[in-house]
Copies of this chain bind each other. A is one copy, B any other.
Amino acid sequence: MVLQLVKAAKQKFLSEFDLTPAQAHLLLELDPERPEPMSDVATTLGCDASNVTGLVDRLEERGLIERRSASTDRRVKMVAVTPTGSRLRSKLLEYWYEAPAPIAGLPQRDARELLRILRKAAG
């Protein structure tokens, strides 16, 4: 029930920016400061390289990211976030790290405890 609401809100948010979940995931994963080879992106996303080709195609068409050739190896293409893409990414991040309403509503004591425990779990 709670999850239904969170999911609906997320989809609504993404559709406002015309981003599919996979596209948002890719954009969030990229570091605007550090372009990354396609193959690394595939590894990080845990999917096939050919899938990344398609995802990058669609985001590149919209000017959110771009392919650059690597200086050292002409086979490699670096995926870089454009200024436009970086701005959109910031908005996504802002939303993404905003706690879902039920969590945000916790008393401060509990919120602090929750954070401490999750940090410990994450190592």
Contacts and interface: CB of A to CB of B under 8 A. Distances in A.
Interface residues of A, number: 20
Interface string A41-73: 000101000000000000000000000000000
Contact of A113 (B11, B46, B117, B122): B117
Interface stretch (A1-9, A30-38, A75-83, A88-96): A1-9
A27 B106 CA distance: 32
Contact of A122 (B4, B102, B117, B122): B102
The DSSP consensus for interface residues of chain A is helix
A46 B8 contact: yes
Given A117-B106, A117-B110, A122 B46 contact: no
A13 to B, nearest CB: 14
Interface in A93-123: 102-103, 105-106, 110, 113-114, 117-118, 120-123
Contacts of A102: 121-123
Contacts of A120: 106, 110
Interface of A: 2, 4, 7-8, 11, 44, 46, 102-103, 105-106, 110, 113-114, 117-118, 120-123
